[in-house]
Amino acid sequence: MEYLKMQIREPCLPPGWYPRTGGEISRFLSDFVQTDAAPSVAAIAPHAGWFYSGRIAAAAVSALDRKAETAVILGGHLPAGAPPLFAGEDAVRTPLGNMPLDRELREALKKEFGGREDRYQDNTVEALLPMVHFFLPGAKLLWLRLPAELNSFEAGKALARTGKTLGRSLTVLGSTDLTHYGDNYGFSPQGRGAKALRWVREQNDRAFIEAVEGGIPEKILERAESDQSSCSVGAVLGVLGYTQTLGPSRARLLAYGTSADVPADEVPGSFVGYAAFGFYMA
């Protein structure tokens, strides 16, 4: 009898996005030890290269419940009207080995709200995989990308309900970067230099951060669309739907920065904002 081989999703990002050996990953994340504080039920992290946003992302990922059976990473980069996208393989390969996918949870969610197989190259999930695998080495994975629309809030609710029905302990990580500013992104309403960087930090990104802390999905989506302050707001909405279905919860800003914080002689012409949030039951 011929047995089917396990299907493994291979990395698509080129070297430089994140460390490629277990030793390098361990050294990068060694400062983020488990504390006595209660873990977050969900988190939001940026998905740029680790050189720029890795420590901010680690502040979010390290706060997750490390005893969860399945780690859910909600990615984005999908416009309104796009279907949810699931990784359809049996496992994903990371520098720490293979991380099995939770096929039972995936199939149950497809029955709830549909979706297609994610066949695209995208960084919103992959850039966070080695971190999640490091902090939750025994967990299975659900890879799901959500579009920038309020239906993603409902998908987060369905995730919470389905996890409970299956008796699965979950922890959920949403993936988004904030304002993409400058010529590289076609968005520079405040010109260049220190003034532009201050505006992104203190106004544009701040307004989105306050919307997430406020917990109203419509306001989060409005800020993302009108201010161009989130590249993957569907993931944020999914996290919000998940946590609010569990019960009263609140978001806490854990870390913030921009790619312009990397030492340089002057503010770069283009830069990106990054934030880490933890979600805690009220």
The CATH number of whichever domain residue 112 belongs to comes to: 3.40.830.10
Domain hosting 57: range is 37-281
In a domain, 71, yes or no: yes
Nearest 5°: the CA angle 189, 148, 192 is 15
In a domain, 127, yes or no: yes
Structure confidence at residue 35 (pLDDT): 63
Structure confidence at residue 1 (pLDDT): 38
Structure confidence at residue 4 (pLDDT): 63
HEC assignment per residue over 53-93: HHHHHHHHHCCECCCCCEEEEEECCCCCCCCCEECCCCEEE
Structure confidence at residue 45 (pLDDT): 98
In a domain, 237, yes or no: yes
In a domain, 108, yes or no: yes
Q: Pick left, alpha or beta for residue 228 (phi over 0 → left; psi -120 to 50 → alpha; otherwise beta).
A: left
Structure confidence at residue 2 (pLDDT): 45
Structure confidence at residue 36 (pLDDT): 58
Number of compact structural domains in the chain: 1
Residue in the structure block whose two tokens are 């939750």: 136
Contact 100, 90 (CB under 8 A): yes
Contacts of 281 by beta carbon, 8 Å cutoff, 6+ apart: 41, 246, 247, 248, 249
pTM over 0.85: yes
In a domain, 6, yes or no: no
DSSP 101: B
Other CB atoms within 10 A of residue 34 CB = 10
Structure confidence at residue 223 (pLDDT): 98
Contacts of 60 by beta carbon, 8 Å cutoff, 6+ apart: 40, 43, 44, 45, 173, 254, 255, 276, 277, 278
In a domain, 242, yes or no: yes
Structure confidence at residue 34 (pLDDT): 63
Ordered per-residue pLDDT tens for the chain, 282 residues: 344 688 999 999 999 999 999 999 999 998 887 665 789 999 999 999 999 999 999 999 999 999 999 999 999 999 999 999 999 999 999 999 999 999 999 999 999 999 999 999 999 999 999 999 999 999 999 999 999 999 999 999 999 999 999 999 999 999 999 999 999 999 999 999 999 999 999 999 999 999 999 999 999 999 999 999 999 999 999 999 999 999 999 999 999 999 999 877 789 999 999 999 999 998
In a domain, 25, yes or no: no
In a domain, 104, yes or no: yes
